[in-house]
Structure 1
Amino acid sequence: MKRKDYEKAIEPLYTELINLQRWIVETGQRVVVVFEGRDAAGKGGVIKAIEAKLNNRHVRTVALPKPNDRESTQWYFQRYASQLPSAGELVLFDRSWYNRAGVETVMGFCTEEQHDQFLSDCPVFERLITNDGLILLKYWLSVDQEEQEERFQERAEDPTKRWKLSPIDIKAREQYEAYGKARDTMLKSTHTEYAPWFVVDFNDQKRGRLNLIAHLLKHLPKRQPAAPAIELPTLTGKPMKERIPDGFLIEEAYSEAEKQDE
């Protein structure tokens, strides 16, 4: 999808997301959206797109690192439960407790018994939190291996994106089929009416973002009306210039040569 077409299509979705956030804030809703999927599927990109125009005081992204020594001795869901939203908050999980159903089981970071226990416990955990009024939606971002490899190569070649490639990501490249089987088991065991799964094609990331955001808005159809227009009164007097104390203003760090290079 061309960039200009994407930018035109997403503008009305931004307005709807803002009105959705107003409903969440003004009615005290607690909303969690889980984003799972293969490495390089586009989880970070769609989360950034959702957050782009929202009030960051009421939206939060959770992307937890691997558990530390203390956390690894706790109840598995404990560190995730502590990140759940308060009233009026939207929380977006960039990977979640479903790590145990995916990377942990495929890469051997948990035992088969731990994996099976997770699949048994997870619907109970999600039933408890949704019974308490929390709204939970779960998205799996799907990408073909050929497209995934192209994105890996792009990350490897781009110095600004290399941080996205971890040693685990590189090892996991050979486990494409195993991840697919683990995903199917996860979907079968944890898709429920109160915490449903939705799969979105992300081979075209721009189109995938539009589809996911539009689906999210349809699944949470309540909105607050758009905020009324604000008419700013005319300033009294001439606009003033900023006065900065001597010695604090930095010199031009970005040279004209650099501007010309752009």
Structure 2
Amino acid sequence: MSKLKRKDYEALLAPMQVELANTARWLQQAGKRLVVVFEGRDTAGKGGAIDAIRAHLNPRQCRVVALPKPTDREATQWYFQRYAEHLPAAGEIALFDRSWYNRAGVEKVMGFASDAQVAAFLRATPQFERQLVDDGILLFKYWLCCDQAEQEKRFAERVDNPLKGWKLSPIDLEARTRYRAYTEARETMLEATHTRHAPWTLVDFDDQKRGRLTLLRDLLDRLPDPRLDAPALALPPLRGKPAKERYGVLKPIPAFGR
């Protein structure tokens, strides 16, 4: 199947983004909390999928959570603690660009967590997620699938593109050589954490545009569709002539006392 052209992609995406804006209004009115977890290999397309969702939403309502390496202090906390701090309040959306599942993926494969820590995580995660769901959080977990040949193309593009160089790190380059180890870690994770209350959805992202559309359609279909109208707003006419604002470089402010 040929990859989706941008023009066709944008034509299919636009009505779904309108639908998503409507869903965001419902979340606010109903006081619901939405958490979407994005996981997958390096280059899978997590950032692009998140951007497609948040593009036309109020950033005060829809936040992206992309946490850096834990500090020394955070490393001594309850594992889920630093993620729990970023869970949404009523009416909010939290999009996790990677999540607590780091422990079952990169930390396991790269040796940043011990076997005992990973095993404890896999036992605790269904209980943690059960608490979130029982408290009323709408939780959706997506794994973005990318074949190794396609991943290699994307790594090469990042190397050659100065605007994407920041996406490459020494860990990314090391992970490139451990594709099968990541596959084994993923399968172990899915077996332990694919539950009735918090199931995983695996989406083909070899074609990232098709993948975004598939993911967004699935998310919208699993959320209520109340079809709320946007509030009617009207712009009254201005009184008088429109004002102008000055611009240009300001003169330096003299030092105090001179």
Secondary structure of the corresponding residue to residue 80 of structure 1: helix
**Residue 167 of structure 2 is aligned to residue 168 of structure 1:** no
**Residue 55 of structure 2 is aligned to residue 52 of structure 1:** yes
Query: CA 1:173–1:227 in structure 2 vs 1: closer, same or farther (change >3 Å)?
Result: same
**Residue 157 of structure 2 is aligned to residue 158 of structure 1:** no
Secondary structure of the corresponding residue to residue 226 of structure 2: coil
| Identical aligned residues as a percent | 59
Residues 22 and 223 in structure 1, CA contact (< 8 A), matched pair in contact too: no
Aligned residue among 199, 202, 215 for 1:199: 202
Residues 40 and 151 in structure 1, CA contact (< 8 A), matched pair in contact too: yes
Aligned residue among 7, 11, 21 for 1:8: 11
Structure 2, unpaired ranges of 5+:
252-258
Aligned residue among 107, 126, 143 for 1:104: 107
Secondary structure of the corresponding residue to residue 177 of structure 2: helix
Partners of 1:244 and 1:234 lie apart in 2 by 23
Aligned residue among 18, 23, 46 for 2:21: 18
TM-score (norm 1): 0.91
Partners of 2:226 and 2:119 lie apart in 1 by 39
Residues 200 and 208 in structure 1, CA contact (< 8 A), matched pair in contact too: yes
Post-superposition offset of 1:237: 3.6
Partners of 2:55 and 2:197 lie apart in 1 by 28
Aligned residue among 175, 179, 183 for 2:182: 179
Q: Deviations over 1:220-254 (max 9, x none)?
A: 1333512144333333444x2423167449xxxxx
**AA at the equivalent of 2:245:** R
Q: Deviations over 1:160-211 (max 9, x none)?
A: 1000001100001011111111111111110112111100000000110000
Query: CA 1:235–1:63 in structure 2 vs 1: closer, same or farther (change >3 Å)?
Result: same
Partners of 2:191 and 2:78 lie apart in 1 by 23
Q: Deviations over 1:51-84 (max 9, x none)?
A: 0000111010000011110000111111011111
Aligned residue for 1:234? 237
Post-superposition offset of 1:138: 0.2
Residues 29 and 87 in structure 1, CA contact (< 8 A), matched pair in contact too: yes
Q: How many residues align?
A: 248
TM-score (norm 2): 0.92
Post-superposition offset of 1:130: 1.2
Partners of 2:81 and 2:245 lie apart in 1 by 51
**Residue 45 of structure 2 is aligned to residue 33 of structure 1:** no
Aligned residue among 213, 216, 241 for 1:213: 216
Q: Deviations over 1:140-175 (max 9, x none)?
A: 000010110110110011111000001100001011
Partners of 1:10 and 1:245 lie apart in 2 by 38
**AA at the equivalent of 1:223:** P
Aligned residue for 2:254? none
Partners of 2:12 and 2:130 lie apart in 1 by 36
Q: After TM superposition, list the pairs within 5 Å mapping 1:48-197 onto structure 2.
A: 48-197=51-200
